[in-house]
């Protein structure tokens, strides 16, 4: 628990030491940030949870200590302008940043707050990662794993280098019944589509198998050995698929043969 900040209470005969609550004594300083043509008025205490913003404020305070010029972010006439991001993505970041409020983020969504879905989590995580909101990033990671489908997990994992998500997501895509839809194909890219197609072809290729004494199976005549064999689908286990996918990933998303 953070240490309380002590101040002297003056004006009474018996002075008491007054402390500021370490968690709920907020700095009400507001910072004006402009992204695209949209301005945001944000609490500074939220922004300094980011290493990037904290360093930026420190440098600005040091360099502008003796200056009479208004500090950037102090008013709507002199906002901090952020380039290379969208106002909508920044809104997503602020939504989860304020919803989290220092508590367990996933449990803090309620009927009065937006649902934690992919369209909110991905842009929020992207900016949290870019600006190094390390604590927020840690909270968002398991939530992203919970709400993203397998194709989205692959795209997310490749963008943010979450290697441990890639192989399990591909295994599930290879072994599910439904084919990829167009959105999923776009997410994982051509090489991912080819991988899934290759493994599924192997999984469903017809191969001779020894006859089962408990079932009737279709027969296939083999001209080589001049005998009939049962016709059944070859079964590729998830473990076999995992091994092939692991090799594919380690080979730079290329097939070995």
Q: pLDDT tens digits for 128-139?
A: 999 999 999 999
Q: CA nearest 246: which of 255, 236, 233, 257? A: 255
Mean pLDDT value across residues 211-231: 54
pLDDT at 27 over 90: no
Q: Which of 20-34, 93-107, 198-212 has the lowest mean pLDDT?
A: 198-212
* Structural domains for the chain: 23-63+71-147 (3.30.710.10)
Average pLDDT over the chain reads 82
Q: What is the pLDDT of residue 106?
A: 46
Q: CA nearest 95: which of 131, 119, 130, 129? A: 119
Q: What is the pLDDT of residue 144?
A: 94
Q: How far apart are CA 230 and CA 219, in angstroms?
A: 5
Q: What would the two tokens of residue 188 be?
A: 């994982």
The answer, as to whether pTM is greater than 0.75, is no
Q: How far apart are CA 97 and CA 82, in angstroms?
A: 18
pLDDT at 103 over 50: no
Q: What is the pLDDT of residue 24?
A: 80
Residue 154 backbone zone (phi > 0: left; psi -120 to 50: alpha; other: beta): alpha
Stronger pLDDT, 63 or 19, i.e. the higher one? 19
Q: What is the pLDDT of residue 130?
A: 97
Q: What is the pLDDT of residue 109?
A: 45
| Residue entry with tokens 């920044």 | 90
Q: What is the pLDDT of residue 18?
A: 94
Kindly indicate the confidence band of residue 202, based on its pLDDT and cuts at 50, 70 and 90: confident
**Element spanning 219, H or E:** strand 219-222
């Amino acid at each position: 628990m953070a240490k309380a900040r002590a101040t002297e209470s003056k004006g009474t005969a018996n002075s008491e030491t007054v402390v500021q609550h370490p968690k709920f004594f907020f700095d009400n300083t507001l910072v004006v940030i402009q992204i695209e043509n949209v301005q945001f008025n944000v609490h500074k205490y939220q922004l300094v949870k980011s290493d990037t913003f904290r360093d930026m404020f420190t440098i600005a305070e040091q360099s502008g200590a003796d200056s009479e010029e208004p500090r950037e972010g102090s008013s709507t006439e002199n906002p901090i302008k952020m380039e290379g991001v969208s106002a909508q993505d920044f809104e997503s970041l602020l939504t989860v940043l304020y919803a989290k409020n220092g508590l367990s983020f996933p449990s803090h969504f309620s009927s009065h707050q937006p649902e934690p879905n992919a369209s909110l989590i991905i842009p929020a995580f992207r900016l949290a990662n870019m600006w190094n909101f390390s604590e927020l990033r840690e909270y968002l990671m398991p939530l992203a794993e919970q709400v993203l489908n397998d194709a989205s997990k692959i795209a997310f994992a490749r963008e943010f280098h979450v290697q441990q998500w890639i192989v399990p997501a591909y295994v599930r895509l290879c072994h599910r019944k439904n084919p990829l839809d167009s959105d999923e194909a776009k997410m994982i890219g051509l090489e991912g589509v080819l991988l899934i197609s290759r493994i599924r072809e192997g999984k469903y290729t017809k191969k001779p198998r020894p006859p089962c004494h408990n079932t009737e199976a279709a027969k296939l005549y083999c001209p080589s050995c001049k005998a009939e064999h049962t016709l059944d689908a070859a079964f590729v286990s998830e473990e076999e698929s995992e091994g092939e996918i692991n090799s594919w990933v380690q080979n730079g998303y290329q097939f070995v043969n």
